[in-house]
A and B are shown apart, each in its own frame.
Chain A
């Protein structure tokens, strides 16, 4: 029975590069997939594309591909990534340019498009937005992007066309890992059981070092070897869907039942119904068996028929958030921090009464991460940091928050130090369901 090896090259947009290069060189891989899109990345990319039609893809694309493309060509590893973000065509053209520069003659680079449904988003005006349960037309801010989470279809088309490199925009994260297995083994796109297993593989790989002990580690409780050289995970998947998760021998981190337990639960809701564009995966009775050092066999994942809808992320110009921070230390620092917050509240009421949609007042070190009203503040911290954040519809209003925090420098309380301030133009994301027939994945293939 045939088995292929798929590596995880990145778990988020800004991830480390060397672990992926180690995988390409030493992982005996057939494929490497880089997952680089968070919820609002495309919305921000779309704005960059409006300013320059050659931009809008992942900012680290050139940095990564300069190293990864020559290595992939040398080691016969195919590369799949969603680094195309809002502009997969421009990303593919950039990759062609890089491949030419390195003399990778004959390399086929494909882009997958079709996720951008902004031109037809108006037809979904009455559909309910998940985040606020109101109809889409009531969204308070200009819509700048609308992208459907596509499945494996476009990637498989590209692989069938002989692509060595596939660049996509928005696709579901597991799809960029599962597509090679479907393509190589000729799995039927309605073989729900195999697609469930392939989705489990994708889910375990899509966050890179989260599966190999990275985000898992806790000194004294969950120690891992050589964390600074953390290796990224590899899936060995066979024609029948049997699956082992492992990593490059000698790399840092570890693959154990426990590291995979944390990752399989990550960002799933009902484990029996993990909805993706390709399948409704069922992880309820997933099992992990440690077969050797850094080798865990995964069994028991299955699947059910896919739904008639795609999830679609809509980016919109939401608001401005201004926030400022200032520290206090030594005896009495908590009292001074509390006084600082009282002063800011009163000042903002004075300079802009009722102008803010929402405010948050934190004392970092005491209640910024957890603000259950029953929690006691620590009695005598050695230092604390005041943070105030406010949401407003204009930058001018939002700016008042960090400005007032910074002004505590001279206006007191005593000993305020290390003030910082910023105001961000917030593009938020609203999610809806759309008809999958509105999305047509298309490919273009360039030969170097």
Chain B
């Protein structure tokens, strides 16, 4: 199953750092997501794209996960060579992950 089936996401950018939320449609899936979608798994998923470390934070009362990815935006939004300088499309890519 792809994450897309059970969760949604939004990407944010600050300088060369990208952050990704991961939000289950059904809050009952939160614990399962916590277990399966580790920071390491996200780092591997973004191999070749994200050069720095990935740290995961939690907002437990609203069942949201937040992944902060360092060195993720080709040197920063203002100088990236990518079509998607902000990495806004990363959220859709996270949801491609098979769990």
Interface residues of A (CB under 8 A from B): 39-40, 130-132, 210, 215-216, 218, 221-222, 257-258, 261-272, 283-288, 300, 318-319, 321, 323, 358-360, 362, 364, 368-374, 387, 389-391, 426-429, 431
Contacts and interface: CB of A to CB of B under 8 A. Distances in A.
B83 A368 contact: yes
B93 A268 contact: no
B82 to A, nearest CB: 7
Contacts of A428: 76, 78-79
A374 B44 CA distance: 10
B32 interface: no
A286 B62 CA distance: 7
Contacts of B74: 360
Contact of A319 (B13, B15, B25, B79): B79
Contacts of B66: 265, 268-269, 271
A374 B98 CA distance: 14
Contacts of A371: 48-49
Contacts of B10: 210, 215-216, 262-263, 265-266
Interface of B: 4, 8-10, 12-17, 19, 21, 23, 25, 45-49, 57-64, 66, 68, 74-79, 81-84, 89, 92-93
A194 to B, nearest CB: 20
B81 A321 contact: yes
Contacts of B8: 216, 218, 221-222, 258, 262
Given A321-B79, A372-B46, 12 more contacts: A130-B15, A216-B10, A257-B62, A258-B8, A267-B12, A267-B14, A268-B66, A271-B58, A318-B79, A323-B81, A369-B93, A426-B79
A268 B19 contact: yes
Given A265-B10, A265-B66, A288-B62, A369 B84 contact: yes
A262 B9 CA distance: 7
Contacts of B84: 368-369
A285 B60 contact: yes
Contact of B75 (A131, A261, A387): A131
Contacts of B15: 39, 130-131, 429, 431
Sort A-B residue pairs by CB-CB distance and give the 9 closest, nearest first.
A267-B12, A265-B21, A360-B81, A428-B78, A369-B89, A389-B81, A262-B10, A428-B79, A266-B12
A130 B76 CA distance: 10
A387 B23 contact: no
B12 A265 contact: yes
A364 B83 CA distance: 9
A283 B48 CA distance: 32
